[in-house]
Amino acid sequence: MRSSVRSFSLPACVWALTLVACGAQPRVNAPSSTPTQTTATATHPGEPATPIKASKGSKMQRNIHGSPFGYETHGEGRPIVFLHGLPNDRRSVMPRFEPMFSATGSKWRRIYPDLPGAGETPANAAIKDFDSYVATVNAFIDEEAAGQRTTLVGVSWGAYFAAAYALKHPERVAGLALIVPGLGPSEEAVRPPRKVLVTEPGALDGAHPMVVGMMNAAATVHSRRIRELFERDVVPGGKAADHGFLTRVLSTRLSYHKELRALSIDVPALVLAGKQDSMDGYIEAGEMAQHLPRATYAVIDRAGHALAGEQTELVTAHVREWLARVNEGLGGSYEQPGL
């Protein structure tokens, strides 16, 4: 019988591989009472620290529930928050989405947080279970929104958190995008078997076993470009994560999980899934999209859980069109020359 609790960003074998390779340990940073710019770096246990670099953005820190919450912002305008999967950090989403926005004249303030236990946001002692984890994420979103309606983009576990916020605070949400959503434990979940469709000769030659393991679990395209993406944007976050803390929290269950799976919110929505996603599949994502009255739902071939990297152009096209709908809903124009 399938266990009622599972990890949605990486399968158990990859979590274990990350733990063995890194000797993951809790990290402690000094809290800040107000939003401040910071130069803190993510520490990868067992090897030299690798800074999380801000590319023309501002690295910030807030105090949320008595603990620091690290994040990065780009641009000015309406708030849009990008929530990454676990055990990754913001580096796994920022390079995928930030290029979609104009370097100048953008109407969106892009906010890329590191979720608790990941990147530059340490484990919070106040977080005891899934409910308190989500409550902390929600508090961060509210602080950054500053009373404005928020647009949310969630990837994998991040999609679960985005949906949880929308369920609790529908009046505060302007738009909702769920990318390869992990929608929680289900005895009836349908997931395709792992399958590699494209193997570029020599693409994995000399690759670290962690990279190979992650790509086997999440990617259906094994190319040099995808390998570089994992090495640059995914593996560092996996190494920096507080795996003990995340395992404890994610082994519990959200008290309003059933309500979340039936989320219905009347705002422009987008649900994208990879046809070969053996980690979260696409059936459950489609079921959730049916409850969202204004959702575009697409299942994209030649893509697994690494959909945003494997099919970047298609994901970009869908996200840009969705944001045009969000902008229209906020009183702007649907036909935008740029973001």
Write down the CATH number for the domain with range 12-23+54-328: 3.40.50.1820
* CA–CA dist 129, 84 (Å, integer): 19
Helix %, strand %, coil % for the chain, to 5? Answer: 35, 20, 45
Instruction: Give dist(CA 240, CA 132) in Å, integer.
Output: 22
User: How many Å apart are CA 106 and CA 73, to the nearest integer?
Assistant: 13
| Cβ 254 vs Cβ 338: under 8 Å | no
- Count other Cβ atoms within 10 Å, centred on residue 110: 25
DSSP letter for 114, please: P
Would you give per-residue pLDDT tens digits along the chain (339 residues)? 333 333 333 333 334 333 333 333 333 333 333 565 543 333 333 333 345 554 568 999 999 999 999 999 999 999 999 999 999 999 999 999 999 997 667 889 999 999 999 999 999 999 999 999 999 999 999 999 999 999 999 999 999 999 999 999 999 999 999 999 987 655 556 899 999 999 999 999 999 999 999 999 999 999 999 999 999 999 999 999 999 999 999 999 999 999 999 999 999 999 999 999 999 999 999 999 999 999 999 999 999 999 999 999 999 999 999 999 999 999 999 976 567
Give me the torsion for CA of 73, 165, 301, 307, rounded to 10°: 30
**Which uninterrupted H or E stretch holds 286?**
helix 283-291
| Residue whose structure tokens are 């000015």 | 76
Question: Domain spans of the chain?
Answer: 12-23+54-328
Contact 240, 265 (CB under 8 A): no
